Amino acid sequence: MRDIATSDRRDTATDDRVDLDWRPALARSVMFRHDRVRGADLLLLPERVVVLRGAAGSIVKLCDGERDVAAIVAELARRHPDAPVDAEVPAFLRQLRAEGWLR
């Protein structure tokens, strides 16, 4: 099991603005769900379960293939006016894409 938090960023050096019009959606092999039994948000993958910590689940939930990154950032900024959403969310989404979980 892997735990992922929004702060686990690995590629902070890349430019956050290049893909603001990308409309992230879950890859076909990936399921997102809230697990009521364990009280956790999960990403289910072949042979693997990733537990999403903190705000990660609410970010993934917005990846519906319709909203682009700018819209996701705007929505989260509205909900969490004091959080560093601009800086963290695009990098988090890119990290999930690099893992092959978002497309």
Partner 1 sequence: MSEAFGVHGAQGGPDAAARPTSPPPPPEPPWALLAELTHGCPLRCAYCSNPVKLIGRSVELTGDEWCEVLRQAAELGVVQTHLSGGEPLLRRDLPRIVATADEAGIHTQLVTSGVGLHEARLAELVDAGLRSVQLSVQHADPARADLIAGARATGAKERAARLVREAGLPLGLNAVLHRANLDALDALVELGLAWGADRIELANTQFYGWAMENRAALLPDPDQVARARLTLERWRVRLAGRMELVWVAPDYVDATAKPCMGGWGAVSLTVAPDGSVLPCPAAAELLGDDAPNVRDHRLDWIWRESPAFTRYRGEDWMREPCRSCELRAVDFGGCRCQAYALTGDAARTDPACHRSPDHDLVRALVDAARGPAPEDHPGFAYREGGT
Residue 59: what are its φ and ψ, rounded to 5°? -70, -50
Of the candidates 18, 6, 26, the residue with the CA atom closest to the CA atom of residue 66: 26
| CB nearer partner 1, residue 61 or residue 79 | 61
| CB nearer partner 1, residue 1 or residue 13 | 1
Q: Rounded to the nearest whole angstrom, what is the least distance from the CB of residue 31 to partner 1 in the complex?
A: 5
Give the Cα separation of 34 and 40 in Å (integer).
Answer: 6
Of the candidates 20, 83, 17, the residue with the CA atom closest to the CA atom of residue 56: 83
CB 32 within 8 Å of CB 60:
yes
| CB nearer partner 1, residue 17 or residue 48 | 48
Q: Rounded to the nearest whole angstrom, what is the least distance from the CB of residue 40 to partner 1 in the complex?
A: 10
Three-state DSSP state, 3? strand
Residues 25-84 within binding reach of partner 1 (CB under 8 A): 28-31, 33, 35, 37-38, 42, 44-49
Binding site for partner 1 (CB under 8 A): 1, 28-31, 33, 35, 37-38, 42, 44-49
